[in-house]
Amino acid sequence: ASISRMLKLDANAVQLQVRRVGGAYGAKVTRGNQVACACALVAFKLNRPARFVQTIESMMESNGKRWACRSDYEFQASANGSIRMLTNNYYEDAGCSLNENVVEFLTLPTLKNVYNLTSLNFKVKGTAVKTDAPSSTWCRAPGTAEGAIAMTETALENIAFACKLDPADVRLVNLRPGTKMVQLLPRFLASTAYRERREQINLFNAQNRWRKRGLGLALMDFPLTVNVALAYPATVAIYHADGSVVISHGGIEIGQGINTKVAQVAALVLGVPLERV
For residues 4 and 14, what is the distance between their CA atoms, to the nearest angstrom? 7
Identity at 243, one-letter amino acid code: G
Q: What is the pLDDT along the chain (277 residues), one digit of tens a residue?
A: 889 999 999 988 998 887 766 555 555 667 778 888 999 999 999 999 999 888 888 888 887 788 888 999 999 999 999 999 999 999 999 988 887 788 888 888 889 999 999 999 999 999 999 998 888 887 766 667 787 788 999 999 999 999 999 999 999 999 999 999 999 999 999 999 999 999 999 999 999 999 999 999 999 887 766 555 556 678 899 998 899 999 988 777 777 788 899 999 999 999 999 999 9
- Return the pLDDT at 228: 56
- Return the pLDDT at 257: 85
Helix, strand, or coil (residue 115): strand
Q: Which residues make Cβ contacts (< 8 Å) with residue 45, sequence separation at least 6?
A: none
pTM of the model: 0.74
Degrees (nearest 5) of the Cα angle 110, 116, 117?
A: 60
Which CATH architecture does the domain made up of 2-63 adopt? Answer: 2-Layer Sandwich (3.30)
- Return the pLDDT at 20: 64
The answer to whether the CB of 85 falls within 8 A of the CB of 79 is: no
For residues 189 and 166, what is the distance between their CA atoms, to the nearest angstrom? 12
Domain ranges of the chain: 2-63, 69-207, 229-276
Q: 54 phi and psi, to 5 degrees? A: -115, 150
For residues 53 and 124, what is the distance between their CA atoms, to the nearest angstrom? 41
Q: Do domains 2-63 and 69-207 have the same CATH topology?
A: yes
- Return the pLDDT at 22: 53
Helix, strand, or coil (residue 170): helix
- Return the pLDDT at 227: 59
- Return the pLDDT at 224: 63
Was domain 69-207 assigned CATH 3.30.365.10? yes
- Return the pLDDT at 163: 96
**What is the dihedral sign for C-alpha 13, 277, 141, 252?**
negative
Task: Please count the other Cβ atoms lying within 10 Å of the Cβ belonging to residue 36.
Answer: 16
For residues 76 and 84, what is the distance between their CA atoms, to the nearest angstrom? 5
Helix, strand, or coil (residue 256): coil
Degrees (nearest 5) of the Cα angle 263, 266, 268?
A: 110
Residue 107 Cα distances to 42, 119, 200, angstroms: 38, 17, 37
- Return the pLDDT at 232: 65
For residues 232 and 255, what is the distance between their CA atoms, to the nearest angstrom? 18
- Return the pLDDT at 231: 60
